[in-house]
Structures are given as C-alpha cells and as structure tokens.
Structure 1
Amino acid sequence: MRLFIALSLPDSARATLEALQARFPAGRPVPFDNLHLTLAFLGEQTEEAAEAVHEGLQTLRSPAQRLTLAGGTVFGGRHGQAIALEASGGADLTTLHDRVLSRLRGVGIAPERRRFRPHVTLARMGARENAGPVLAVLASASVGPFLCDAVSLYASTLHPDGAIHEELARYPLALLI
C-alpha cells in the first residue's frame, strides 16, 4: 500500500481552501477530504511496515501546530504540476517533521529524501497548462492562523480521476493553553 504521514487540517481551514479553489480558472481541485500537509511520503509499503509505522507514531509527542498558509507556488513539471499554498509554522513544524522522521528511522522505514517544504496542494494541472491564472488567484491569499491537532497515517490509492486517501490512524497533538 502507498502510505504518507500528514497533518490533518481542521474543517474550517479546509472550507476556506475549498472556497479559494472555487475561484480557480483552471486545474483540477484537490477534494475537500484530501486537503492535508504532508510530513513524510513513504511510497509503497507492506502491511507489516504499515503496522511498524503505526507503532512508531504512537510514541509521537508534539504540541498542536499553529499554521498560516500563504504564497502560491508550483511543484512538478514534465509529469504535471501541483499548485499549492506554502505553510508557515515556524520551529514547531520543523521539530514535528524531524520527530516523525526519527520515528520512521526507528522502525526501519526510509521516507523519500526531499527537502521539507511545507505546503498544502490545492490543485493539479497538466505539464503544459499555464499555472499563471491560478497563481494570480493565490497571490493575495492567506488562510489562518489555524490549529492542527493531529497527525495521521494515510493510505493513498491512485485512480484516473485522482488519489483517494484513507486515514488509517490518527495521533493527537497536545493542545497547549
């Protein structure tokens, strides 16, 4: 199964993002239920590996994450483009990412080696499509701050119309008052 670990976004933030997506003149919007911030992409894993990841994440301790999304960006190229808003969460978000990677290494799983660029993907476009009009909509967009109070382990199944994400487990983050 294809796995990833992500911050679960609150419904209020996803609703704001969905309203923003409705203004896009092009692209295929990411469905409401698929809006998330990826912390680690694990790719294809066995059921045993998924169970090991679950066990490792049960020891994860971190404060809830206060995020703001702003700054439209494009990822990809030859095989398609992902249009996203960049996430700022400061040192807490970087620390959470490092803790997730540590748990993965602890159970013998090696996630993709990419520089951590926290973002929420909002739409997908073909490689030759002009992302400029969508980025223009995002130019002044800002969502948040909002609080993410859980990390989730997801399975992702690819379909011609896009991926379907299934939450396998949820790990609460501490709410600090």
Structure 2
Amino acid sequence: MRAFLALDLPEELTAALATAQEGIRAGRVVPEEDLHLTLAFLGEVRLDALDDLVLDLEMLRPGPIRIEAAGLEMFGGPNPSSLHIRVDAAPELLHLQRKTETMIRRAGLALPRRRFVPHVTLARFPRTMSAEDHARLGRFLAAKSDLRLPPVWSDSLSLMQSRLTSEGPIYDPIETFALA
C-alpha cells in the first residue's frame, strides 16, 4: 500500500481553504476532507512494516503545532502539476518533520531524499492544460495569490493510506496520534 505521514489540519483551517478553493476553475480540487500537510511520504510499504513506526509515534508528544498558511504557489513550472498554499516553516514544525523522518528510518523504512516544503495542496492539474485553463488559473492567482489565513494549532498527525484512482487519490487514516 502507499502510505504517508500527515499533520492533521483543524476544521477552521480546512473550512477556510475550502472557501478559497471555490474560485479554482481548472484541474481537480482536493476535497476538504482530504486537505492535509504531508510530513513524509513513505511510498509503497507493507502494513506489518509499519509496526515499529506506530509504536514510536504513539510515544511522540511534541505538543500542538502552530500552522500559519499564507501565499499561493504552484509546483511544476510552466506546466504546473499542483496549486498549494505555503505553510510557515516554524521551528516546531521543522523539528516535528525531522523527528518523524528519523522515526521512519529507525523503523527500517526507506525515504526519498527530498527537501521538506511545508504546504497544503489545494488542486492538481493534468500533465497538459488547455490555454483556457491556464488563463482561468492565472485569473484565480491574480485575485488570491496573497491569501493569508489566521494561525491555527494542530494537535494530531495521521499515518495515511493513499489509493490512486482515476478520480484522484483516496486517503484513509491507518492510525491517528495525539501530539499532546
């Protein structure tokens, strides 16, 4: 199964993000219930290979993590693959992310070497977008690129399963862990 570790977002943040998504008229908008901040992508793993990681995560208690989301950006250059809102790389968030990566490696799971870019994905785009969709996306960004949401606190993280479908990924929590 495909798995990842994500910081859970409080309802007030997901509701505000869902409202902001209403103007996106290109690609596939991420459903409100699937909005999250990925801490680490594990890729394909066996469920039993997660046992040691789950034990470590059950003991993790860094306290609530402050999330400050502001500014829209895209990944993928001229042919964007996704639209996201940046999340401030606060020391507590960076510490939690590094700590979870250490736990994952200690559990014997391999992680790709990627720079952590804290963000919440709002929409995904096909490999090639029409000129009309590019224009719609440009208008949306011109109107909303300076989006800034009030800071919130996350008090849990989840080990998630990701199932790919033709309609987009489906996320199911395997287990959720309190941070305090």
TM normalised by structure 1 equals: 0.91
Aligned pair 1:41/2:73, yes or no? no
Indicate if the aligned counterparts of 2:73 and 2:145 stay in contact, CA closer than 8 A: no
Distance 1:7 1:37 in 2: 5
Aligned pair 1:147/2:147, yes or no? no
The code of the aligned residue for 1:135 comes to L
Q: Aligned match of 1:167 in 145, 168, 173?
A: 173
The match for 1:113 is: 113
Q: RMSD of aligned C-alpha atoms?
A: 1.7
The code of the aligned residue for 1:153 comes to L
The match for 2:164 is: 158
Q: 1:49 to 1:78 in 2, by over 3 A?
A: farther
The code of the aligned residue for 1:123 comes to A
What 5-or-longer segments of structure 2 have no aligned partner? none
Pairwise CA distance, 1:128? 2.8
Indicate if the aligned counterparts of 2:84 and 2:120 stay in contact, CA closer than 8 A: yes
Distance 2:68 2:123 in 1: 18
Distance 1:135 1:161 in 2: 24
Q: 1:80 to 1:159 in 2, by over 3 A?
A: farther
Pairwise CA distance, 1:49? 1.2
Distance 2:146 2:78 in 1: 27
Q: Deviations over 1:108-149 (max 9, x none)?
A: 112221101000000011233324233224312112201111
Pairwise CA distance, 1:55? 1.9
What 5-or-longer segments of structure 1 have no aligned partner? none
Distance 1:137 1:5 in 2: 32
Distance 1:137 1:52 in 2: 46
More strand by share: 1
- Number of aligned pairs? 174
Q: 1:79 to 1:168 in 2, by over 3 A?
A: farther
The worse-fitting range, judged by mean Cα deviation, of 118-127 and 51-60 is: 51-60
Q: What is the correspondence of 1:28-177 to structure 2 with a 5 Å cutoff?
A: 28-76=28-76, 81-129=81-129, 130=134, 131-174=137-180
The worse-fitting range, judged by mean Cα deviation, of 50-59 and 87-96 is: 50-59
SS of structure 1 residue aligned to 2:140:
helix
Distance 2:145 2:155 in 1: 28
Indicate if the aligned counterparts of 2:50 and 2:107 stay in contact, CA closer than 8 A: no
Pairwise CA distance, 1:89? 4.4
Pairwise CA distance, 1:52? 2.8
Distance 1:44 1:103 in 2: 17
| Aligned residues with identical type, % of pairs | 37
